[in-house]
Structure 1
């Protein structure tokens, strides 16, 4: 009886872990196009549970655009958006 109860708890725990990872928004594709910084309203980092960390730029038109965080122009855009939101 104890082993059955342990197995049930283990299955529930594993199910919860799989569900939490499924809810994480991850980027499967990245754009190579440099987005004009004036079009970027905000940004956020993807979850550390994702296969590749990325930055998602949210545009003034309401689109979410995934970009590789290692792309050279991205850090400049992030700095400008941060500066805009601080003021």
Structure 2
């Protein structure tokens, strides 16, 4: 198994995104570092628009993730409802 990962700037919006990621990926590991939040999970990590909207309390476009994104590892599958990171063998 290989871990996928995502690192976001540590700011108010990212904290809500991280809450949504934790809800949708309960096995994910969250590391708070200076100015950055790193999220890792085995094989797959899903960021769902609907969950982020619930946390933010407003409409959210999946493309907005890129405003706070520092780096990621994994193959990206993205549409208007979610972004998925995974390793496909």
Q: Same fold (TM over 0.5)?
A: no
Bigger strand share: 2
Q: TM-score, normalised by structure 1?
A: 0.27
Q: Which has the larger radius of gyration?
A: 1
Q: Which has the higher contact order (CA 8 A, sep 6+)?
A: 2
Q: TM-score, normalised by structure 2?
A: 0.27
